[in-house]
Every structure is written in structure tokens, then in C-alpha cells.
Chains A and B, each alone.
Chain A
Amino acid sequence: MLIFEHARPGRRNYSQSPAAAAKIDDIPQNLLRKVPLLLPEVSEMDAVRHYTRLSQKNFSIDTQFYPLGSCTMKYNPRACNSLAMLPQFLARHPRAPESTGQGFLACMYELQEILKDVTGMAGVSLTPMAGAQGELIGIAMIRAYHESRGDSARTEIIVPDAAHGTNPATAVMCGYKVVEIATDKEGDVDMDALKAAVGPQTAGLMLTNPSTLGVFEKNVAEMSKIVHQAGGLLYYDGANLNAILGKVKPGDMGFDVIHINLHKTFSTPHGGGGPGSAPVGVAERLLPFMPVPVVASENGVYRWLTEKEIPQSIGRLSAHMGNAGVLLRAYVYVRLLGAEGMHRVADFAALNANYLMAELSKAGFEIAYPTRRASHEFIVTLKDLKEKTGVTAMNVAKRLLDKGYHAPTTYFPLLVPECLLIEPAETESKETLDAFVVSMKEILEEAHTQPEMVKGAPYNTPVRKLDDVKAARELDLAWKQT
């Protein structure tokens, strides 16, 4: 039932709005609203019950194990939320003078410094509001760098075929042509393909390392050399930074620009699809192009640097300063971890991933890159299972929902057939992983003994398999009053 269907004309929450209806007769008639406003007329309790019940139809980290590859669904500490929501932080206006936000700015400055250290970059800007915006800013800086040198012949961005879809989409938004390069049998970027692709037309290479295939690109140093020798720059997609946090700094791998998904590695909430936050880090040569604002500290006073101080900046990408509240949550998280906690994140993310990979392999699942170490994630391919039983990766994913687990990432990366990309994250215990393996084994057996049952999954969720084709053909995007 929709909230609109709970409504009754004239029902209202008297405490939630002014007691009297103020007059607006000075506004010209032709500018006033004449059409009805379709908001629900419900009581506070109706609304609270309705949205509480809706929340209960969700899977979430707080209620289920979420082995969702490349998404780093780790526990979101509650302290991060409650401390970011202190009333003074919530009430502060973005255009209030800096002198009224020294406490807030101190957190932002320290977060910038910590992220610089962890990534090995010379500068960090906190403004990007999501991973895809971090990418846009990063590639825009690469473009600004080449243009500032009068180097206008660079028209291409190289992207491995295993990359997230945002990488090629971002390159196009920055006016570049995308050149996709292949992956070799071991899951690394095909070095011959890279060598063939680079040239004077190369603006840069976008790389995720460890890659979305769950392996560390062993040749990253050589890749860096090849691209740099051709005059291109290296972009690090920080989607999988969790796997190497405190172990390897992207700056040390030769990257010129990086974005960091705080909603992955730094445990800010996914919130059902946002808000994200993706600070960008840059090497020395890209410092002049950083997006504004950036926090500076001078004699213990914090202030924003703007276009005035960074005149070659690629500009502003948000109305204010990005997702401040998300940045506060990340700040609390890094202070709770501390220097000694950073590498532990990678240690236990790797331990959980390699353990789960070993156990699933023993349980009869085919691992896509069995000779490789898992980073913080790995790929199971169900190609054989599909050939033998007709059960697909999607069917297995849906059956996992019945057993109380969120599904792994399915059909990504696109180059591995019938794949499940599995990332347990460091915050899960051995018991949870063991129980997951038991469920996976059960599904494997069900696939052989009752494949039709598995294909019909899910059964225990609030709705069963939904008709996507109907949704796209008979578009129903808003409720209509009848």
C-alpha cells in the first residue's frame, strides 16, 4: 500500500507546520499555484508506521550479510552517524563565516591530511559528491593539465574492459574518446594491448587496482612507465582501495590522480544508493587544477581556498563544498581506526576474501582466477553449472535472498561469464562466512536436484521475481489519483 492510499482529505499534523495560514495576496495571481498538490494527508503515526514497515522490506548491512563485490559493504559504525549529527554541525549554514565553523573545518582539514598520507598524494580536495563525480573531476584535471601545456592532440582515455561502467561514461563526459583494452588469462591488463593503445593521442589511463576481477595488477609499475613515457597521466579508481589500505599507497604506484569512495573504504553509509562522497587526491603536477573549495590552515585558523587562490582550478562541482556530513562520518571513522587500524582493514578484508574463496572452491564452486590471490574480493563463475543444469548466476543470486543473504554482484565484470563477484569485507566473522558457504552448498545441490525450483527463486522475499520488461514497456513512474 502506498502512502497516498493511507490518506484522508483534511487529515493533518498540526504540530508540524504553522498554526495559522499566512496571507500571500501580494503575489501576482498569475504566478500562484492553481493545480492541486498531491502530497499525502496522513497523521504522524500513519507516516511513521508506513515508513518503518517499508524499511523492514529492505536488506541492509545492519540486518544481513552483504557479500556484494566491489561495493565494500562493511559495518557502518553508529558513532560516525551520531557524532556527525550533533546539533551544531547540522545547524551550520554553508555560507556562514568560516569563523563560525572552525571546529567543523578542523575535522575537514585533518581528514584531507589523513587522506593525503594514506594515498600518498600531494593534495586532496573533499568536494566530489560521489565516485562518478570524483572520476569526472579527475579526468577534467587531466584535461586541464594537458591544455595548460598547449598539448591539444591528446584525445583518448584508455580503460581496461574490466572497469566500472562509470569510467568510460566519465571519459566521454570530459570530451574524450574511449579506448578499451583487453584482460589476459591471469586477470591482468594485457600488456601488449596497452602498448598498442598508447601514443601521442593518449591523455591518460583509468585503472582500478586491485581490479574488479579481484586481483592486484602485478605490472602496475610497468604500466605507469608506459603511459607516462607516452605523455599520458594515470588515474586511480579508488573503488577497491579497501584491499590495500595502509599497505600500498596509490601515489607510490605512480598514479597522478585518484578518487576515494568514502562510502566503501571509509565506511560511510550507502543509504540505499547515496549520498556518496569521493575526495580526489592529486600528485604535485595537478595541484594547480584542484576543484575548489579546499581547506587551508594558517596559524591555527582554518579557511577555504577558492578560485582566488587556485586560479587554474577546474572549478566548482557542487553548490557548496560537497557532502560535508558524509565527510564528518569518514573523519570519525579514521580517528577510531587510527594509523594502526588502517592496514588491519586490508589484512582482514584479504583474510576473509581468501578464506571464503578457499572454502567455496572446496565446496565445488569454480573460481575464475584460481591461481591468483584474492584481493578483498574474488569471482566465482557458474558457466559449467548453467550448461549442466540451466541454473544461472542470477538464479543463484535470487536463491541466496531466500536464505537471508544479499546477493553478490552478478554479471560484472562483463568479461567473466555467469559470474558472482564476492566481497565479504573485514567486518564479518568466520561464523558468518561459514554459514554462507553452507547456504551456497545447499544451492549447488538444489541446482542439480531441483533446478526448476532454483530458477523460480526468490520465494521468501516481500515480492517474488519482478517483471522488468513490463516495468520498461508500460512505464508507471508516478502514482495517479483515480
Chain B
Amino acid sequence: MPFIPHTEEDIQAMLASIGAKTIDDLFDEIPPALKGGSLKRVPSGLSEMEISRLMLERAEADGRYLSFIGAGAYEHHIPAAVWQITTRGEFYSSYTPYQAEASQGTLQLLYEYQTMMASLTGMDVSNASMYDGASALAEAALMAVRSHKTSRRILMPATVHPVYRSVVRAIVKNQGIEVVEIPYCKESGQTLPEFLDAFGKEEFAALVIPQPNFFGILEPVDALTDWAHSKNALAIGVVNPMALALLNPPGEWGAKGADVAVGEGQPLGIPLSSGGPYFGFMACKQALVRQMPGRIIGRTTDQDGKPGFVLTLQAREQHIRRSKATSNICTNQGLMVTAATIYMALTGPEGLRRIAAQSHTNTLTLLEKLEALKGVKRIFNGSLFHETVVSLPGPVDNILQTLKSQQILGGLNLKDYYPELGNAILVCATETKTPADLKNFSERLGQALDKVSAASADAQPSSIESLST
């Protein structure tokens, strides 16, 4: 019996102690009509050898690609030590640290994480993490509404990750909160302060400010922050933590700094893994700490005066406050934060800066190579971090499909999110890409484009198989 240690002798002795004849007797309080229901779609059990073989076959079938997709999840090198330490049983199989004396390892690590994230974002305090970047942004919006008291309106630039915008709407809509979208500048790809005044006539609780934005473009964060504050609203930064090694952090934006910073923590040592588990981070100014959702760790002392760590400000949380809690959130993403903390300790400030700077440079180099191809154009002229939108002179699906058959994932097709951009893709090159990779991608793209233009010159339907994916 997998994972069950009982011998026949154990079972009999235990039943005798209970005073039951069979194990079935232990279920005698369940009405018989509810019992049964055989499992028809669950296959029989496999041995570890059999399931290993199956999983290996499936993993190999999925293969490995040279990927230039970013769009909120970024490939970075992860030092070997990160996951070897993170998957030690003492981290992997421990529970939420309610019993502080038995959880000092996790608690101290989370305190170190909070310190690192507060510094990275330029904020006073960080919580111990949220589910992911999108849900962290939703929680920040709720936090802004709680602290504003009179307005339930959130201003959301269209340059924020489109899925984040959907997630925010899905989470806040049942609380009567209105999310108002702000258009972007077609030339720079930015949210410009002059666009905002029309939206600021009516009261609002917060302005969301992405940095970099979904297009990879750097926003005029100082002016946006000051504008939000001039209207008596909060400024919520939604940021890539890797970019903050180079960029001015939210806490320093404008005259007073943004009030809340959130984002996706995945770039800090978390593998792409088809989308999760990742972690969201949230940091804020001291004045807002009691409005913050999620776990928060504090340093204190034990009865002998020795320093130690505990979950603190629990009066905000659901297990104490029940229906009056700041959020229903019960967990953080403990194991992911464990990895991120070790990642940041291994890279240090200079390492993180170099990874960010190399990603930036690689993307600029790639952009230069792509723009040298006939008909490929950079769409926005704003400064960028490590991602950019380019337009292609032909149907994107066909071109990406051709690249894929050559083991290259050439970026994200933007047609579902920003149809107004035409044949546009979002491409990213992190520090993991070598000069040879960049050359390989641009040459293959050039060949794919030649094929497309030859096909259209012949006025024949494209010979390239078009797949919906």
C-alpha cells in the first residue's frame, strides 16, 4: 500500500483498542446512501519506476526551445544552490509558521526576504508574499479602496499586463469597485500625464503605474506618481523586481514616492514551469502597514532576551478577524520565497545589477538585428528595459510557426491583447541569450519573412501550415 506503513498486526491491535471489528465500522456514521460511487476514471496505481518513465516521456515530448517570450514570465539563470537548498525537507515539508519556536528557519528567512524586498522596492515594509503578481495587484487595489474610504474607483493604464487587468476585474468586481482604463500614447507606448486629467475629474482611490509596462517601455513614473498624489489618491507601482536593480524603485518616485509596490517575483530564481507556482510581492509605506493583506513577519525577543521571529499583526487576518479581515488570504508562497531569498543572497546587489543590465543590452542588440530585417519595425520609441514590441511584415501566426519548427519561440503574438497594433510581437532577450542565440533568431526570422513575402508575391495562399497555437 503506497505510503501506508501499517502491518496486518498493527491494524488488528488498533481496531481492538478502538473497539471496532473492521475499518469499515469507522465510517458507520456516514449515511449508507451517500457511500459507494466507484471510481471509473481513475487508473490503477503505478510503481515509482512506471510513473517516472511516463513523466520522462512526456517531458521529453515537450522538448526545449530557444525562447524569446517574456510577457510577465522571464527566463533567468537559476544558480544550482537555490533549489537544492529550497527542496530540503525542512523547508519543503514544513507548515505555515504558526508555532514560531518550531519554525525559526522559515520565519527568519521570511524576515530576510521582507528586508530584501523593502530595499528593492524602496518601501518601508514588505509582506511575506502573495499568490502571484496579478493577484497581488488586485489586493493592492482593494487595499487602496480600504484606505481611501470614499472612492471605489481604480485608474488602470492599458499598458498594464492585459491578464493582470482581467484578474483585477475578476477579483474586485463583486465589491462594487470600478476599474477605469487609461489609453496609451501610440508613439511612445507610455501612459502620459496629459492623458490623465480627463480621468481625474472624478474622485479615485488609486492610479496603477507599471514599470516597465507590458510593452517593455519605461513609464514617466515621477510625473504619474505626483499626479495621483495631487488628486489625493494612492500611487500603486506594479514593477519587475529584476528591473529595480537598475531602475529607480517605487518608493523614490516623484516627490513623495509611490505608496504600494507589487509585482511578479518569478524573475528572482523561480523556474518558468508553465506558469507557476510563482509568487507575488507587496511592499508599502509604513503608514499603510495595517491595511496590508497577507502574512507579515516581525523580529522580537524570547523570554531569555534572545532575538527571534514571529508572525505579527495577525489581527488583520482571516483566522482571527474572520469576516472583518483585510483579505481571505491564508497562505503566502513560502517555498517560492525561500528560493527567491536564496537567489538574491547568491547574486547580491552587483550580481543582480549585472543580470538586469545584460538583459537590457541583449534586448537592445536583438532589436537592432531585427530592425535590420526588411519590414521589421520597432513600434514604440520610449526607452525600454528588456522587452519590446516590433511589427512584422506578414501574418504573425505563420511566422512564429515557422520559427517554432526550427526550435525557436519568437515572441508573443499581441493580436488578442492589442489588435490595434497589427502584426505585432512582444520579444524579450534576457541574460540567458548568447550573441549566437541572437544571431540565430534574427537570421531565422529573416528567412521566415523571405518565405512569407515570396508566398505573397506569388499571390498564392501561404504554404506554411497555420495552427491556432
Contacts and interface: CB of A to CB of B under 8 A. Distances in A.
Given A39-B116, A314-B170, A337-B45, A319 B163 contact: yes
Nearest to B10: A430
A171 to B, nearest CB: 7
Contacts of B21: none
B126 A39 contact: no
A317 B170 contact: yes
Interface string B314-350: 0101111111110111111111101001101111111
Given A315-B170, A355-B14, A477 B114 contact: yes
Contacts of B324: 172
Interface in A353-374: 354-355, 358-359, 362, 372-374
B409 A96 contact: yes
Contacts of B20: 354
A68 interface: yes
Contact of B51 (A71, A83, A372): A83
B6 interface: yes
Interface residues on A, range: 35 or more
Contacts of A117: 39-42
A435 interface: no
Nearest to B67: A93
Contacts of A342: 39, 42
B300 A476 contact: yes
A46 B428 CA distance: 33
A461 B323 CA distance: 34
A145 interface: no
B75 to A, nearest CB: 7
B457 interface: no
A464 B304 contact: yes
B119 A336 contact: no
Nearest to A338: B45
A89 B31 CA distance: 44
A299 interface: no
A4 B10 CA distance: 51
A336 B358 contact: no
A448 interface: no
Interface in A319-347: 319-326, 332, 334-342, 344, 346-347
A153 to B, nearest CB: 16
Nearest to A90: B271
A338 B46 contact: yes
A338 B298 contact: no
A79 to B, nearest CB: 5
B272 interface: yes
Contacts of B176: 175
A199 interface: no
Contacts of A41: 348-350
Contact of B91 (A30, A271, A346, A398): A271
B46 A336 contact: yes
The residue among A50, A168, A339, A463 with the most chain B CB atoms within 10 A of its own CB is: A463
Nearest to B77: A16
Contacts of A15: 79
B36 to A, nearest CB: 8
Contacts of B61: 102-103
Given A42-B345, A472-B312, A16 B79 contact: yes
B57 A132 contact: no
Interface in A50-108: 50-52, 54-64, 66, 68, 71, 73-77, 79, 81, 83, 85-104, 106-107
A247 B25 CA distance: 13
Contact of B112 (A4, A52, A166, A358): A4
Contacts of B62: 88-89, 92, 100-104
A429 B10 contact: yes
B412 interface: yes
Contacts of A164: 318-319, 330
Closest 10 CB pairs between A and B?
Answer: A338-B45, A320-B275, A62-B89, A103-B58, A271-B335, A315-B170, A94-B275, A17-B351, A275-B277, A38-B119
Given A18-B355, A91-B271, A269-B92, 11 more contacts: A2-B111, A3-B345, A17-B354, A18-B358, A39-B116, A118-B39, A169-B322, A351-B26, A427-B3, A471-B310, A477-B289
26 contacts: A3-B112, A3-B345, A15-B79, A18-B354, A22-B357, A24-B361, A39-B352, A41-B350, A79-B48, A94-B276, A165-B325, A270-B93, A271-B91, A272-B109, A273-B332, A274-B131, A275-B276, A275-B331, A291-B170, A315-B170, A319-B134, A320-B276, A401-B99, A401-B101, A466-B309, A467-B302
